[in-house]
Amino acid sequence: MARLAIVGGTGLSQYPELQRVDNAALDTPYGAPSAAALIGRLGGHEVVFLPRHGEGHTLPPHRINYRANLWCLQQLGVKKILAVNAVGGIHPAMGPGHLCIPDQIIDYTYGREHTFADGTAKTVQHIDFSYPYDPVARQILIRQLTALQMPYSDFGVYGCTQGPRLESAAEIRRLAADGCDLVGMTGMPEAALARELEIDYVSICMVVNWAAGIEAAPIDMADLMRTLENCTREVKRLIAAVAGALIV
């Protein structure tokens, strides 16, 4: 059976709802992944869970070994990745507590190992990245969000910044002018690496705060964490509802 992988971000570093089957700590040509992958069952369906930031959320976005993570998942037979990302809202309709299934991404990161084409392969791979997210998986999520009556957006341009600091208000104005609806720190190079490995990739973005400067008040980290906790509960409910449909 083709496996579904859940890549957990901020707020989702553990998944106690999974019935553990095994743990897989794999070596890769690119070093160690963020953590051992948990192979478990969710509603009778076998899935793989990998916490992007490591156990205990110790890895900042720019220090995550994205290549090792994706290589590990491929070796475990993963054919589809459901990524969970905590983001800030830029679009007026995408405030705290909102869920978004993004359809596009802009990469503002730098210095990250962003491709498997590192000079060791026989040929350079030029992937088509016109549409970064798998359209079939996106529609499955959108239909289920509608059925669950959760507030969501079925579009969104994700601006991926370097982190780990949050952005300045001027940087958010720049992202807005570029057409970004959301801002996060982990969407790239994860999405592109999945495409290089021919793994279908889709994201659930949890809006946990207004991006800098959208509101007059500064970002309240305590409010952010409360919203993150609430969003994570809703996302787990969504994942439980769609896991079977995503495993095909």
209 in a labelled binding site: yes
Q: How many CB atoms lie within 10 A of CB 43?
A: 12
210 in a labelled binding site: yes
- The one-character DSSP state at 11 is T
71 in a labelled binding site: no
185 in a labelled binding site: yes
Per DSSP, the three-state class of 109 is coil
Strand 200-210 and strand 78-89: pairing?
Answer: parallel
211 in a labelled binding site: yes
CA atoms within 13 A on the CB side of 182: 33
53 in a labelled binding site: yes
Q: How many CB atoms lie within 10 A of CB 93?
A: 13
Angle between helices 135-148 and 221-246 (to 10 degrees): 110
Q: Known binding site for phosphate: residues?
A: 10, 52-53, 186
Q: Known binding site for substrate: residues?
A: 185, 209-211
Q: Known binding site: residues?
A: 10, 52-53, 185-186, 209-211
